[in-house]
Amino acid sequence: MNTDIYRFKLGDFQCIAVSDGTHTYSPPTFPPPAIFLFANAPRERLEETLREHNLYPRQWAEWVSPYICLAVNTGEHQVLVDTGADGLGPDTGKLLQHLQAGGISPEDIDTVIITHGHPDHIGGNTDSEGRPTFPDARYVMWKDEWDFWTSGQAEAKLDEHVREVLLKFARKNLPPIQGQLELVDLETEIVSGIRALAAPGHTPGHMALAISSRGEQLLCISDVVLHPIHLEQPEWYAAVDFAPEQVVATRRRILTMAVAEEALVLAFHLPFPGLGHVSQKDDTWQWKPISTTG
Ligand SMILES: [Zn+2]
């Protein structure tokens, strides 16, 4: 399977899941990934769950995370959701090359939606000279998110061990887009067929998107979950989740919505192309990746 781009249709919308590359998180530069991803999980239950998924001990030692952006051509607008992790590691920063492979050049994009201000979602906002990568686009972000990263809150509130790397990316990739920026703080339509959803917790103004065309629904959930096990264990949050209680409430809301609407779901860090459906089992959920072989 091509793991660079994956084309699919949603009603009349032409969509492409676009990989920006991957990064391998492993000790000693990084805590054991299972402990990072499931920070509050009881140790025994965690090992047992990983074994059930054939992820033990591998997931303990390394986590190869994809970074999956989304291009949507609505007919009226060419939209890009998130700009990837350029600068984060040797195998990231492939967004433009992969967009090109999908027939899209930076000038074609008129709307860039940033789900949140983490390095792996804003890394491609600017080019090597610090100019906006998408010269003709308006960049759209949730207001609380922009304020968090640009008005001193991040400096004051982030844990010391992640603060410097997060701020380095925010300082490089946020101020230069200010002239093209539009902030939203309501669950409003950004372009016709693409609606902002408040999904706070992972970061203060984390945003999901409800995309619909001709009755077909796509929920772009970004980092509401980072791993398929987060659907089954919705109370297990990641070390990088800013407000754990809010993360759990947001997960429950968004996953309930995904089931009720039988929506296709795109999750930024799940195995490429990050697309699947969600089924409910009692008070928890399960990830059903789409088949990409047909
Ligand atoms: Zn992320």
Percentage above 90 pLDDT, the chain: 90
> How confident is the model at residue 83, as a pLDDT?
98
> How confident is the model at residue 219, as a pLDDT?
98
Element (H, E) at 17: strand 13-25
CA of 124 to the centre of ligand 1 (A): 13
Report the Cα 28 to chain-centroid distance in Å.
25
CA of 250 to the centre of ligand 1 (A): 16
Average pLDDT of the segment spanning 199-210 = 98
Residue 22 has pLDDT above 80, yes or no: yes
> How confident is the model at residue 149, as a pLDDT?
98
CA of 270 to the centre of ligand 1 (A): 10
CA of 83 to the centre of ligand 1 (A): 11
Average pLDDT of the segment spanning 32-61 = 90
CA of 201 to the centre of ligand 1 (A): 13
Using CB atoms within 10 A of its CB, is residue 43 exposed (0-12), middle (13-18) or buried (19+)? Answer: exposed
Among 54, 104, 48, 59, smallest CA distance to 81 is for 104
CA of 269 to the centre of ligand 1 (A): 6
Residue 77 has pLDDT above 70, yes or no: yes
> How confident is the model at residue 59, as a pLDDT?
72
Residue 30 has pLDDT above 90, yes or no: no
CA of 133 to the centre of ligand 1 (A): 20
Q: What is the pLDDT of residues 231-284, one digit of tens each?
A: 999 999 999 999 999 999 999 999 999 999 999 999 999 999 999 999 998 999
Q: What is the pLDDT of residues 116-126, one digit of tens each?
A: 999 999 999 99
Percentage above 70 pLDDT, the chain: 100
Q: What is the pLDDT of residues 173-190, one digit of tens each?
A: 999 999 999 999 999 999
CA distance 192 to 56: 44
Phi, psi of 197 (to 5 degrees): -120, 130
CA of 82 to the centre of ligand 1 (A): 10
Contacts of residues 28-34 at CB distance under 8 Å and 24 or more positions apart, as own/partner, are 31/239, 32/60, 32/61, 33/59, 33/60, 33/61, 33/62, 33/63, 34/59, 34/60, 34/63
Per the document, the length of the chain is 294
Convert 62-71 to b/e letters by CB count within 10 Å (16 or more is b).
Answer: ebebbbbbbb
Among 174, 177, 253, smallest CA distance to 208 is for 253
Contact 175, 132 (CB under 8 A): no
CA of 53 to the centre of ligand 1 (A): 22
Residue with the larger pLDDT of the pair 141 and 57: 141
CA of 253 to the centre of ligand 1 (A): 19
CA of 188 to the centre of ligand 1 (A): 23
Q: What is the pLDDT of residues 152-161, one digit of tens each?
A: 999 999 988 8
CA of 266 to the centre of ligand 1 (A): 13
CA of 175 to the centre of ligand 1 (A): 20
Residue with the larger pLDDT of the pair 28 and 167: 167
CA distance 243 to 142: 16
Contact 63, 37 (CB under 8 A): yes
CA of 222 to the centre of ligand 1 (A): 7
Residue 291 carries which DSSP code?
A: P
**Tokens representing 219?**
């929920």
In three-state secondary structure terms, 47 is helix
The mean predicted confidence, pLDDT, of the chain is 96
Average pLDDT of the segment spanning 52-72 = 90
CA of 282 to the centre of ligand 1 (A): 28
The overall pTM is greater than 0.95: yes
